[in-house]
Amino acid sequence: MTDELMLRRKWTLRAGRKRIVLVKRSHERAEHVVMKALLWALYLPLYPNLTVEVSVGDRYKPDVVAVDAFGRPRFWGEAGEIGVAKIRSLARRYRHTHFAIAK
């Protein structure tokens, strides 16, 4: 990343014509923020309405998500640590959702 993109505790990233600002929380590792950014940029061509850290009304909150017109997740991206129980729970409840996990 260039100095232009690196701001104090937040990054402004661009992919195509889209731009996103990601804020690194005090308890969050920089690598986690970078993985969220990479998921966002990688899947943006397929899901132009991708957002980061937005709740979908579930007990779990996706790191990167795209929702349909009814607010149901079409794409769910997880960055970093994720347990088998969480993956099973999400896959069972969101059978038509595209999942991506970045490690």
Structural domains of the chain, ranges and CATH numbers in brackets:
29-102 (3.10.640.10)
Alpha-carbon distance of 76 to 78, in angstroms, equals 7
- Residue 89 phi/psi, 5-degree rounding, is -60, -45
Amino acid 7: pLDDT: 44
Q: Is the pLDDT of residue 43 over 80?
A: yes
pLDDT at 11: 86
Per-residue confidence (pLDDT) for residue 8, from 0 to 100: 53
Task: Assign 83 a pLDDT band (cuts: 50, 70, 90).
Answer: very high
Residue 26 has pLDDT above 90, yes or no: no
- Per-residue pLDDT band for 79 (boundaries 50, 70, 90) equals very high
Burial of 35 (0-12, 13-18, 19+ CB in 10 A): buried
